[in-house]
Amino acid sequence: MTDILLLLIALLYFLVSAILFTFGLNFLYLTWRAWRENRVPQPAPPDPAKWPYVTVQLPIYNEMYVAKRVIEAAVKLDYPTDRLQIQVTDDSTDETREIVRREVAHWQAQGVNISHLHRTDRSGYKAGALQAAMPQATGEFIAIFDADFVPPPDFLRRALPHFLDELGDLANRPTEAKEKVAFVQARWGHLNRDYSWLTYLQSLAIDGHFMVEQFARSRAGFWFNFNGTAGVWRRAAMEDAGGWTADTLTEDLDLSYRAYLRGWHGRYLRDLVVPGEIPPSFSGFRKQQHRWARGSLECARKLAPQVWRAPIPFRQKFQATLHLTGYIVHLLLFILTLIYPLVALFTARYPHLNTLYGFAYLFALTSVAPTLFFLMGQQQLGRWHWRMLPKILAISVVGSGLMLNTARAAWQIWRQPDGVFERTAKFGIEQKEQDWRQQKYQLRFDSIVYPELALGMYSLGTVWLATNLESWGIAFYALLFGVGLIFAAATTIWQTISVYRRQKGVKEIGDRRLEIDQSPISNL
């Protein structure tokens, strides 16, 4: 019986390690590709002879702190006014609705072509709101900005020339310019990068995604996705791909791949930056990652079979699969965390297997790939310094702490097929002096911290066991996972307590002021 268990654990360990090795190698490949492609400048295309009609859509749902900001940014876009339409697709149920109504009315009085589209229900969530607005959209191209983003005034003038096949004479254009370009995606910047250690770490991760992954995939001819905001879609491509659908929680990834499957392509503009607000709350960050993880896995289940049936080269199919299934890495780390004690015990009981398990350690060497990936992102931005290395290493530790968060997302795909789109709360935070803890939209305490703490302690127990058995590789990785899990749980608990105390203090001050205002002396 023991030998059978040994065989099963060994097979599972090697399988998980091999898949992680594959993802790690791909991280290294994308990092190298980004470095190489950065040395090949791409000239900007000329302006079209005639600017096309554009509709700017601003999806909003309970965004009282940032709604006015994004509307003002959209109105300030430097584009021919007779060819620009702005739609505020508003599903709000709180004060945001009135804020949007007043702001839209103000700009309408100034002659701006802007409309307020409010739905009485939230069917389809963001995808439903965008699709419901399409019949009233007049643009040939649809630009989309989430409420927490602030597009620069020249955004449209810099993005639209990259749809070359319909915006100008093709006679003297390069062959690659004749592709059917479905969407153009800009890079995300950061409004509050230095607000806290959490926003700073998130900015490093976002920079890695946009400076390395999106850039390398686009330059290599691989499929990459529209990121849901800070981009422009060709309306014909959206309609050809079937429009927005709400059967996954990442409607942007879903539409992107359906467009690719129809023969369209995407363009990524790394030099066009649209700053956005990073969640200052760990609970908000956790919810965002949960939505992205679940949505990505839903898209993988829905679209991966179609990708492998598509008439495209094997390398594109392979890369698309890795792209769609990226969050599986967290699930694999979860499995490793659970089986590490057995692996350590079996290698100690059967010393002759140490050599075999040593091969799995070779797989684990690619765990440095994410560090190099994020490092390259900062190097490409000209920000790299050796003092940043501990912070970049911290990204991997914090990321491993979300393994249970991703496991829950995967579990819910089967247990709760109809997922709820939980938007990430935005607080209008740009300056360090601002305090998000006393504002609305605070999330309820997430009980996942209890299993995170338990699994974190389990991992620390694995460290103790592996150290005694002199299984140093397992001890090292178990320590990283344990610290990450306990850190995620502890940060959530600490911020929850901090929010409670802050709001309680604000309420007490308000109550005292009310008592003073209502006192007989104050009425004299």
Catalytic residue set: 91, 252
Give the residues across from 275 on adjacent strands. Answer: 189
**CA–CA separation, 56 vs 66, rounded Å?**
17
Main-chain phi, psi angles of 325, to 5 degrees: -105, 20
Angle CA 172–178–180, to nearest 5: 160
Burial class (CB in 10 A: 0-12, 13-18, 19+), 370: buried
Q: For the chain, what is the radius of gyration of the CA atoms?
A: 25
Give 273-287 as a 3 state SS string: EEEECCCCCHHHHHH
**CA–CA separation, 275 vs 259, rounded Å?**
26
**CA–CA separation, 463 vs 340, rounded Å?**
9
CB atoms within 10 A of CB 243: 14
> Would you mind telling me the total number of residues written for the chain in this entry?
524
CB atoms within 10 A of CB 105: 11
**CA–CA separation, 447 vs 61, rounded Å?**
25
Give 316-373 as a 3 state SS string: HHHHHHHHHCCCHHHHHHHHHHHHHHHHHHHHHHCHHHHHHHHHHHHHHHHHHHHHHH
Are 315 and 467 a contacting pair, CB within 8 Å? no
Rounded alpha-carbon distances, angstroms, from residue 318 to 33, 181, 182: 16, 22, 22
| Three-state DSSP class for residue 250 | coil
**CA–CA separation, 387 vs 378, rounded Å?**
12
Which stretches does DSSP call E strand in 1-122? 54-60, 84-90, 114-118
Burial class (CB in 10 A: 0-12, 13-18, 19+), 130: buried
Give 491-514 as a 3 state SS string: HHHHHHHHHHHHHHHHHHHHHHHH
